[in-house]
């Protein structure tokens, strides 16, 4: 399982995905279908995400099935941005259609 902060035109969102990378072709296709055609993503430690989101993380993760491999954990950009230190961010992944 991967957790990532995606900085998009409308602000940061926190996603959970079963894809192997934050720029996996099928993940990119799904994001494009949702209107996200450009982003900078940073992987976040799944453990830190779980610690900070607690029960909400478990509920969202429990709803992540094999055929439904993408979940938005938090779309409140202010909350996402302030919930993690910049030092916790992994290497950036850039995508532009």
Average pLDDT value for residue range 10-29:
94
User: Could you report the per-residue pLDDT of 47-82, keeping only the tens digit for each?
Assistant: 999 999 999 888 887 765 545 588 899 999 999 999
Question: What phi, psi does 50 have (nearest 5°)?
Answer: -60, -40
Q: Find, among 84, 83, 51, 63, the residue nearest to 16 by Cα.
A: 63
Average pLDDT value for residue range 24-37:
95
Measured distance CA(49)–CA(72) in Å, rounded: 12
Share of residues in the chain with pLDDT > 70 (%)? 94
If you ran DSSP here, which 8-state letter would residue 19 be given? S
Measured distance CA(49)–CA(29) in Å, rounded: 24
| CA triple 26-75-80, angle to 5 deg | 105
CB 55 within 8 A of CB 18: no
In the prediction, which pLDDT does 58 show?
86
Measured distance CA(83)–CA(62) in Å, rounded: 22
In the prediction, which pLDDT does 68 show?
57
Selected residue with higher pLDDT from 64 and 34 = 34
Average pLDDT value for residue range 11-32:
94
């Amino acid at each position: 399982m991967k957790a990532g902060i995606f900085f998009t035109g409308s602000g940061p969102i926190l996603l959970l995905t079963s894809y192997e990378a934050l720029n996996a072709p099928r993940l990119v296709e799904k994001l494009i279908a949702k209107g996200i055609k450009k982003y900078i993503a940073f992987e976040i430690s799944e453990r830190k995400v779980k610690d900070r989101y607690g029960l909400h993380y478990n509920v969202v993760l429990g709803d992540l099935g094999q055929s439904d491999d993408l979940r938005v954990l938090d779309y409140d950009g202010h909350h996402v941005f302030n919930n993690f230190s910049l030092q916790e961010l992994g290497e950036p992944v850039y995508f532009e259609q």
